[in-house]
């Protein structure tokens, strides 16, 4: 079994020193750069858009894991492919024709991700799980960094793990929201493949060391 990936969320970075923080992730033990795009409609907050993603992409040396918290994401699939996204994740709750959206993401050469809000049951993905590269379980209500981890997530990871096995799928499980060194080990044991961490990394005294600590906990 491969080591759990760590994806620091740049939402918690210092935007006045974005290049510095992206380079910190480059030089750390992190695996991916997690990029949160919010539209103020699907979620009650606006984060940043294409010019900032472009600036991140210019300095990033690791795969870009782009998490779209926007309505009707089909409008921007090509744009994010052109910006260099490696994984493009859309929300189940934001897509009327999710199967079509996933095909469009793959047609642009990206890996296709689907994020589920805390209230969305994993069983809803049964009919298209073989088309999904990454399932992102939101362990907070999306929209803001720094929220507390929702404990029910452990049961969702286990249920999703069972569904992946039942359907003989190769889908990776990502956890997003409230991840700390306190829950990383338990999440890995439950079956998580990728851990996103924003505040815990960037608000720490030594973000590079904190990433190494997370990697160790989830290793
Ligand atoms: C929340 C975002 C997360 C967020 C995580 O809507 O999708 O990626 O940055 O931040 P923390 O780790 O602070 O909960
Ligand atoms: Zn995210």
Overall number of domains in the chain:
1
CATH number, domain with residue 80:
3.20.20.70
Pocket probe mutation, ligand 1, options 137, 142, 145, 147, max atoms within 8 Å of Cβ: 145
| Residue 16, token pair as written in the block | 């006045």
What pLDDT is recorded for position 177? Answer: 98
Closest CA to 218 of 185, 189, 181: 185
What pLDDT is recorded for position 1? Answer: 56
Closest CA to 111 of 141, 135, 128: 135
Measured CA to CA, the distance from residue 112 to residue 89 in angstroms comes to 6
What pLDDT is recorded for position 2? Answer: 74
Q: Mean pLDDT for each consecutive 10-residue tract of the chain (219 residues)? A: 90 98 98 98 98 98 99 98 98 98 98 99 98 99 98 98 98 98 97 98 98 94
Q: Which residues contact 115 (CB under 8 A, 6 or more apart)?
A: 67, 69, 89, 90, 91, 92, 135, 136, 137, 138, 142, 176
What pLDDT is recorded for position 219? Answer: 83
Q: What is the pTM of this model?
A: 0.98
Residue 32 belongs to domain spanning: 5-217
What pLDDT is recorded for position 114? Answer: 99
Residues labelled as active-site residues? 36, 176
The ligand minimizing its distance to the Cα of 195 is: 1
Measured CA to CA, the distance from residue 39 to residue 111 in angstroms comes to 22
What pLDDT is recorded for position 106? Answer: 98
| Contact indicator for 87, 111 with CB cutoff of 8 Å | yes
Q: Quote the ligand 1 centre to 207 CA distance (angstroms).
A: 16
* Cβ < 6 A, ligand 1 pocket: 9, 11-12, 34, 36, 67, 140, 142-143, 145-147, 176-179, 196-200
């Amino acid at each position: 079994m491969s080591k759990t990936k760590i994806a620091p969320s740049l939402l918690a970075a210092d935007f006045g020193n974005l290049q510095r923080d992206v380079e910190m992730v480059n030089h750390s033990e992190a695996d991916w750069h997690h990029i949160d795009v919010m539209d103020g409609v699907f979620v009650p907050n606006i984060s940043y858009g294409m010019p900032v993603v472009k600036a991140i992409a210019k300095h990033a040396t690791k795969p870009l894991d782009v998490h779209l918290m926007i309505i009707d994401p089909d409008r921007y699939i090509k744009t994010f492919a052109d910006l260099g996204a490696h994984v493009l994740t859309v929300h189940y709750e934001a897509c009327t024709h999710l199967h079509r959206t996933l095909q469009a993401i793959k047609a642009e050469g990206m890996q296709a991700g689907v994020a589920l809000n805390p209230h969305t049951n994993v069983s809803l993905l049964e009919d298209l799980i073989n088309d999904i590269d990454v399932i992102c379980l939101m362990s907070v209500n999306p929209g803001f960094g720094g929220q507390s981890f929702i404990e029910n997530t452990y049961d969702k990871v286990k249920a999703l793990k069972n569904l992946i096995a039942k359907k003989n799928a190769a889908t990776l499980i990502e956890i997003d929201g409230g991840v700390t060194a306190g829950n990383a080990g338990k999440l890995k044991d439950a079956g998580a493949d990728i851990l996103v961490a924003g505040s815990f990394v960037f608000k720490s005294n030594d973000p590079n060391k904190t990433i190494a600590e997370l990697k160790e906990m989830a290793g």
